[in-house]
């Protein structure tokens, strides 16, 4: 039991480390794709920004978690994580062009478009995760 645990610990840290890097890169890209400063808005108490960014983050993390569970290698995880990021960014861009007023509504603190964007991100993330069950 202890020996199998000790053998698995390096793999755990490898997968966890890659996942954390994927999350950091996704957040960096996402906040630079949106025309508003989510982090600044969240720090100032903007609930709409917190809802929309949280939905995007969770929508990204779901397929990454599924990729961890199903990947045979860390390289597989990295590749599927990149796919998950591209899909989430694409979902945001579709929402942005479908509802152009969202670019001003979220910084203004309007919660309805933020909830829609969060649910869209979660839905796309869930479908993305399900498609990664190979």
Walk along the chain (134 residues) in steps of 10 and give the mean pLDDT of each run: 84 96 98 96 98 98 96 94 97 96 97 98 97 79
pLDDT at 93: 97
pTM: 0.93
pLDDT at 8: 87
The 3 state secondary structure assigned to the chain is CHHHHHHHHHHHHHHHHHHHHHHHHHHHHHHHHCCCCHHHHHHCCCHHHHHHHHHHHHHHHHHHHHHHHHCCCHHHHHHHHHHHHHHHHHHHHHHHHHCCCHHHHCCCCCHHHHHHHHHHHHHHHHHHHHHCCC
pLDDT at 134: 62
């Amino acid at each position: 039991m202890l020996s199998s645990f000790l053998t698995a610990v390096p793999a755990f840290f490898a997968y966890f480390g890659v996942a954390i890097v994927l999350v950091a890169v996704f957040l960096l890209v996402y906040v630079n794709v949106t025309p508003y400063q989510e982090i600044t808005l969240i720090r100032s108490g903007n609930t709409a920004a917190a809802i929309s960014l949280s939905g995007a983050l969770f929508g990204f993390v779901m397929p990454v978690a599924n990729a961890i569970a199903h990947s045979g290698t860390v390289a597989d995880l990295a590749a599927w994580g990149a796919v998950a990021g591209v899909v989430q960014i694409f979902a945001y861009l579709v929402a942005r062009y479908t509802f152009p007023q969202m670019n001003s509504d979220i910084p203004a603190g309007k919660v309805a478009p933020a909830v829609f964007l969060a649910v869209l991100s979660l839905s796309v993330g869930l479908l993305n995760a399900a498609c990664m069950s190979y």
